[in-house]
């Protein structure tokens, strides 16, 4: 009997022979892509987000989705800096929701008389005297919560003064209702910080604690009625790239949108702004000078990272296209569509505006075809929500709970388990970086903290909460009351498990935004932002996406159709907060409250403008031309049922059957080798894992 080493050698030889045969078949059939190529083996280097190895003919589904939908990348303007005049209105809306400061008005007597009011230095008092603001309608709160409110307001005033002194972006005074919202929900915000800190210090209970933390923020709606769903199934969008070259092949010279635009321009504006501020402000304090210098370093660092990342994605697409000889857009767009292996994804949480079917004059069957959200499988019950206690949240006994519904409906059969599912290795101490870590908020937070510590009168920090009056809300999946309604998303939230970097949750969050934007295109809602929140532990990042009105775009002297609306995604230089810090927790809560109020009202107004046009179109489907059909039937699942996609599949069926026969033969030869037991399979997995780690 052959030894295990001999058997593995023969298996490797069979795999190598298959590769040689497949290479000959590929050369003889340019433009034909074999699914699952190359076959998984110990000698095949796995494609991962780290390596992006396209030399073996692989394409990540993220690249395929972005290219197929024709995404244009954008840089989120730094909220602390003045944005360029040509900044899209969608991003300006997001900035308005972030740039807030509490009014410096005197408060009515709402405490028990034992509250110490912070005393600000004279230069800040002079600055605040020029500010206006209405009285805050406050309810009675505990002294501890009032002191936390006043400490937060004092810190915000110091930051607002610093930005004005440096000539950076001014903040806008909050209206009385939102200012009262901050005070009346202060106990919840302090409890969020407490849960976040406990999660950071308790790895085994991290997921349960963080989910409770963010559920508190989502539930703290200040009495504003807005839809919320958890573990929501969302439909993937059809590919504009495929439609332009297959479904609507009669289009003349459809433009190829540049997916990955250089980030130098947007970051350059930020750097110019900061450097100009540095030149003009010669008499500022040493602390402010340090703050400005650190912000410049951070922008340079983030610029470098973003540019390198986008170049890697561009190289990935180009190498894939070259490997399969996809010279024509027709071949390229077809293979791009096939590379996306999912038709739905599951979002951890979403806030939305609801429009009952009785108000939009559309049938229940058409509503199902139009809806962004898909009804959940009734056979799958929602996961029970862990209930940590407060103040000292206890870790659940036994191993941490990590089970969760699959994030995509059709995972690739050859996909490997996540590396995070293995026991984590001890982390090495990080090397000191020349540039400070974090975002542009880091230097400002440091400056504010130091300034308050040395200010005359000494302003105390915001206290930790010992309150147990606000338990984590129970996670419920609301479905029955929204069956016959059109739901329009305001913001998606994606929770990333474990102690990974926040940016690793970015891809899934952007999927949801892309899906929502293409849904808005089908409704002809343009230039209106959809936001995404990606979290890991206590770290939160904000993303933004929107669709541009096609009437405003002229490319190659060709008038674009409505379905050719360009979708933008702002995923570089995104705002980042740490909710274990009370000030950041309140900022995130205020951002969410803006979405529940200001943003929801704006979306309702937008939809009212297009509601009749949309309902009239769906009620007269028989008159749709090809372009109207592609606009309204916006889902990937619908596109794959159409004749154009089936025709494309038929064109490559013969060569794929030939390749599959090669694979079957190779598998049969390997199966004939004895013993082909689980030990050999485990060894192969270990080898592949080692290659990926290297």
Read off the pLDDT of residues 33-61 as tens digits, 9 standing for 90 and up. Answer: 886 555 443 233 333 333 334 446 788 88
Does 658 lie in the same domain as 524? no
Query: Which of 163-172, 274-283, 390-399, 595-604 reaches the highest mean pLDDT?
Result: 595-604
Question: How many C-beta atoms lie closer than 10 Å to residue 129's C-beta?
Answer: 8
Does 79 lie in the same domain as 36? no
State how far the Cα of 290 lies from the Cα of 144, in Å rounded to an integer.
33
- As given in the structure block, the two tokens for residue 325 are 């000889």
State how far the Cα of 507 lies from the Cα of 521, in Å rounded to an integer.
21
For residue 459, being part of any structural domain is answered with no
The number of CA neighbours under 13 Å toward the Cβ of 113 is: 0
Does 410 lie in the same domain as 281? yes
Residue that wins the pLDDT comparison between 463 and 277: 277
Portion of the chain with pLDDT greater than 70, in percent: 71
Does 52 lie in the same domain as 74? no
- As given in the structure block, the two tokens for residue 68 are 């197929």
For residue 181, being part of any structural domain is answered with no
Buried b (16+ CB within 10 A) or exposed e, 186-223: bbbbbbbbbbbbbbbebeebbbbbbbbbbbbbbebbbe
478-497 average pLDDT score: 75
User: What pLDDT is stored for residue 118 in this prediction?
Assistant: 78
pLDDT tier at 141 (50, 70, 90 boundaries)? confident
Does 280 lie in the same domain as 197? yes
State how far the Cα of 680 lies from the Cα of 685, in Å rounded to an integer.
9
User: What pLDDT is stored for residue 357 in this prediction?
Assistant: 82
User: What pLDDT is stored for residue 495 in this prediction?
Assistant: 82
State how far the Cα of 552 lies from the Cα of 564, in Å rounded to an integer.
11
State how far the Cα of 370 lies from the Cα of 381, in Å rounded to an integer.
25
| C-beta separation of 592 from 491 below 8 A | yes
What phi and psi, each to the nearest 5 degrees, are found at residue 536? -145, 120
For residue 32, being part of any structural domain is answered with yes
Question: How many C-beta atoms lie closer than 10 Å to residue 328's C-beta?
Answer: 12
Does 373 lie in the same domain as 326? yes
pLDDT tier at 376 (50, 70, 90 boundaries)? low
Question: Is 423 exposed, middle or buried, given 0-12, 13-18 or 19+ CB atoms closer than 10 A?
Answer: exposed
User: What pLDDT is stored for residue 130 in this prediction?
Assistant: 74
Question: How many C-beta atoms lie closer than 10 Å to residue 480's C-beta?
Answer: 6
> SS3 of 507, please?
helix
Pairing of strands 373-374, 485-496: unpaired
> SS3 of 490, please?
strand
- As given in the structure block, the two tokens for residue 115 are 């509250």
Contacts of 633 (CB under 8 A, 6+ apart): 238, 369, 522, 639
For residue 295, being part of any structural domain is answered with yes
Q: Looking at the predicted structure, is the pLDDT value of residue 621 above 70?
A: yes
Question: What is the DSSP annotation of 510-529?
Answer: HHHHHHHHHHHHHTT--S--
pLDDT tier at 399 (50, 70, 90 boundaries)? very low
Of 456, 461, 455, 519, the C-alpha closest to 490 is: 519
Over the Cα atoms of the chain, what is R_g? 28
For residue 168, being part of any structural domain is answered with no
Does 377 lie in the same domain as 284? yes
Question: Is 510 exposed, middle or buried, given 0-12, 13-18 or 19+ CB atoms closer than 10 A?
Answer: buried
| C-beta separation of 216 from 206 below 8 A | no
Does 52 lie in the same domain as 77? no
**Total domain count, the chain:** 2
Does 594 lie in the same domain as 525? yes
User: What pLDDT is stored for residue 407 in this prediction?
Assistant: 55
Task: Write down the pTM of the prediction.
Answer: 0.82
Q: Looking at the predicted structure, is the pLDDT value of residue 564 above 70?
A: yes
| C-beta separation of 171 from 101 below 8 A | yes
Q: Looking at the predicted structure, is the pLDDT value of residue 270 above 80?
A: no
Strand partners, 155: none
- Asked if residue 98 has a cis previous peptide bond (ω within 30° of 0), the answer is no
For residue 81, being part of any structural domain is answered with yes
- As given in the structure block, the two tokens for residue 437 are 């870590």
User: What pLDDT is stored for residue 4 in this prediction?
Assistant: 81
For residue 270, being part of any structural domain is answered with yes
Q: Looking at the predicted structure, is the pLDDT value of residue 480 above 70?
A: no
Does 475 lie in the same domain as 366? yes
Does 597 lie in the same domain as 563? yes
Which residue among 567, 594, 618 closes a domain? 618
What phi and psi, each to the nearest 5 degrees, are found at residue 535? -125, 150
Does 88 lie in the same domain as 47? no
Q: Looking at the predicted structure, is the pLDDT value of residue 87 above 70?
A: yes
Residue that wins the pLDDT comparison between 619 and 441: 619
User: What pLDDT is stored for residue 640 in this prediction?
Assistant: 95
Residue that wins the pLDDT comparison between 535 and 401: 535
> SS3 of 613, please?
helix
3-state helix, strand, coil in the chain (%, to 5): 50, 10, 40
What phi and psi, each to the nearest 5 degrees, are found at residue 492? -105, 145
State how far the Cα of 10 lies from the Cα of 28, in Å rounded to an integer.
27
Q: Looking at the predicted structure, is the pLDDT value of residue 388 above 60?
A: no
Q: Domain residues for 41?
A: 4-58+652-693
Which residue among 618, 641, 663 closes a domain? 618
Tell me what the pLDDT averaged over the chain comes to: 77
For residue 141, being part of any structural domain is answered with no
């Amino acid at each position: 009997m052959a030894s295990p080493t001999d058997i593995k050698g023969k298996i490797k030889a069979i795999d190598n022979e298959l590769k040689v045969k497949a290479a000959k078949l590929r050369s003889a059939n340019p433009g034909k892509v074999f699914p699952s190529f190359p076959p998984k083996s110990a000698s095949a280097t796995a494609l991962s987000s780290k390596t992006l190895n396209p030399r073996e003919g692989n394409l990540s589904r993220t690249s395929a989705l972005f290219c197929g939908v024709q995404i244009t990348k954008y840089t989120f303007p730094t909220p602390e800096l003045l944005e360029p005049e040509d900044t899209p209105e969608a991003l300006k809306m997001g900035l308005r929701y972030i740039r807030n400061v509490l009014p410096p008005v005197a408060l009515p007597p709402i405490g028990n008389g034992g509250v110490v009011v912070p005393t600000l230095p004279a230069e800040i008092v002079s600055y605040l005297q020029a500010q206006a603001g209405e009285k805050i309608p406050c309810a009675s709160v505990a002294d501890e919560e009032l002191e936390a409110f006043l400490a937060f307001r004092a810190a915000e005033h110091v930051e607002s003064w610093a930005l004005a002194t440096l000539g950076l972006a001014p903040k806008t005074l909050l209206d009385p209702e939102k200012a009262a919202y901050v005070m009346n929900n202060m106990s919840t915000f302090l409890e969020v910080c407490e849960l976040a800190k406990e999660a950071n210090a308790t790895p085994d209970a991290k997921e349960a604690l963080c989910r409770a933390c963010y559920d508190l923020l989502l539930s703290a709606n200040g009495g504003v009625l807005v839809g919320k769903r958890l573990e929501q199934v969302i439909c993937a969008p059809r590919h504009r790239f495929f439609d332009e070259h297959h479904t609507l092949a009669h289009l003349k010279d459809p433009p190829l949108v540049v997916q990955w635009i250089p980030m130098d321009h947007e970051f350059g504006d930020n750097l110019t702004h900061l450097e100009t501020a540095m030149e003009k402000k010669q008499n500022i304090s040493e602390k402010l000078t340090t703050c400005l210098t650190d912000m410049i370093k951070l922008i340079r660092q983030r610029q470098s990272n973003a540019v390198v990342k986008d170049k890697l994605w561009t190289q990935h697409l180009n190498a894939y296209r070259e490997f399969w000889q996809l010279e024509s857009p027709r071949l390229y767009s077809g293979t791009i569509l096939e590379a996306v292996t999912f038709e739905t994804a599951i979002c951890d949480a979403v806030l939305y505006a609801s429009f009952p079917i009785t108000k939009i004059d559309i049938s229940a069957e058409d509503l199902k075809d139009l809806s962004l959200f898909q009804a959940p499988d009734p056979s799958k019950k929602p996961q029970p929500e862990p209930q940590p206690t407060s103040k000292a949240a206890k870790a659940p006994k036994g191993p941490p709970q990590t089970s969760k519904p699959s994030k995509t409906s059709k995972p690739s059969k050859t996909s490997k388990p996540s590396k995070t599912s293995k026991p984590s290795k001890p982390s090495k101490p990080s090397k000191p970086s020349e540039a400070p870590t974090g975002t542009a908020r880091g230097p400002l937070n440091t400056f504010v903290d130091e300034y308050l510590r040395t200010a005359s009168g000494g302003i105390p920090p915001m206290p930790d909460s010992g309150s147990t009056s606000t338990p984590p809300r129970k996670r419920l999946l609301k479905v029955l009351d929204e069956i016959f309604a059109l739901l329009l998303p305001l913001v998606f939230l994606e929770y990333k498990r474990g102690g990974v970097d926040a940016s690793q949750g970015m891809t899934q969050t952007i999927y949801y935004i892309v899906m929502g934007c293409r849904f808005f295109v089908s409704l002809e809602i343009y230039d209106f932002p959809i936001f995404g929140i990606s979290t890991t532990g206590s770290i939160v990042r904000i993303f933004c996406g929107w669709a541009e009105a096609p009437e405003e775009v002229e490319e190659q002297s060709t008038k674009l159709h409505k379905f050719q609306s360009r979708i933008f995604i702002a995923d570089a230089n995104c705002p980042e907060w740490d909710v274990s810090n009370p000030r950041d927790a309140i900022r995130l809560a205020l951002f969410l409250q803006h979405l529940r109020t200001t943003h929801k009202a704006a979306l309702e107004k937008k939809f009212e403008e297009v509601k009749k046009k949309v309902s009239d179109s769906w009620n007269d489907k028989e008159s749709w031309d090809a372009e109207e059909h592609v606009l309204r039937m916006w889902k990937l699942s619908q596109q794959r049922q159409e004749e154009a996609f089936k025709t494309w599949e038929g064109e490559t069926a013969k060569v794929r059957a030939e390749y599959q026969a090669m694979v079957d033969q190779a598998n049969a030869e390997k199966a004939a080798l004895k013993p082909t037991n689980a030990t050999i399979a485990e060894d192969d997995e270990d080898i592949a894992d080692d290659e990926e780690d290297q």
